[in-house]
Amino acid sequence: MSTNTVEINRQRHRFDGRESVWLFGYGSLIFKADFPYLERKPASIRDWERRFWQGSHDHRGTVEAPGRVVTLIEKPGALCRGMGYLISPQVFDHLDIREKNGYLRFTTQLTFDDGQQVEGLVYIATPENTAFLGPAHERDIARQIASATGPSGPNRDYLLRLADSLRDLSAVDVHIFDIERYLNEQASD
């Protein structure tokens, strides 16, 4: 599958007659809401875990030196904490371009802190896309993040803002926090 998923996403979901749709954000969508929304509140999804396994050559790296950004990997019993946004369907015109580097829209069940559950959408970069980098040791991921910079800035800023945002949500994510620790250790060496 091509890394440019704009047209694929525009064919995946129809919003006929819908005035709003819930969207789950688990990476930069937590801390960079550069789109209009009707409502924003913490949410979780089950059976998915956040991993720095997606390459980024369009935002946090280049084709020659891709950065790493998060995607979701299926894991029964896992709980991924993030942010839910109630948006108008027109916002997907912007989001599909922002998330074009291998991310596809999927339907998911969001659970809010009060226990309310709603159906929504989430962008996931699957292993079938050409920018998918897959697993690596957290130390190696930190090294790659430390050296990558792209049009949206240094890859390290993405990691550090995500880690801080997860703390603000009282979310424990060992994978993210281990990479952050290795990145900070490398900076102090």
Give 134-146 as a DSSP string. Answer: ----HHHHHHHHH
Reported as a single tens digit per residue, the pLDDT across 29-50 is 999 999 999 999 999 999 999 9
Q: Given this model, what pLDDT does residue 38 score?
A: 98
Amino acid, single-letter form, for residue 48: W
Q: Given this model, what pLDDT does residue 7 score?
A: 75
Active-site residue flag, 185 = no
- pLDDT of 58 strictly over 60: yes
20-34, 66-80, 92-106, 110-124, range with the lowest pLDDT? 92-106
Q: What is the pTM of this model?
A: 0.93
Tokens, residue 171 = 């979310």
Mean pLDDT of the chain: 93
Domain ranges of the chain: 6-188
Distance CA 2, CA 128 (A): 9
Tokens, residue 158 = 């993405």
Question: What does DSSP say about strands 149-150 and 117-125: parallel, antiparallel, or unpaired?
Answer: unpaired
Q: pLDDT grade, residue 5 (50/70/90)?
A: confident
Distance CA 142, CA 52 (A): 10
CA 55 to chain centre: 12
Q: Given this model, what pLDDT does residue 15 score?
A: 74
In percent, the amount of the chain with pLDDT more than 70 equals: 96
Domain with residues 6-188, CATH architecture: Roll (3.10)
Q: pLDDT grade, residue 4 (50/70/90)?
A: confident
- Are the C-beta atoms of residues 65 and 53 closer than 8 Å to each other? no
Choose between 11 and 125: higher pLDDT.
125
Query: From the candidates 19, 64, 99, 128, which is the catalytic residue?
Result: 99
User: If DSSP codes are grouped into helix, strand and coil, which group holds residue 157?
Assistant: helix
Q: Given this model, what pLDDT does residue 180 score?
A: 98
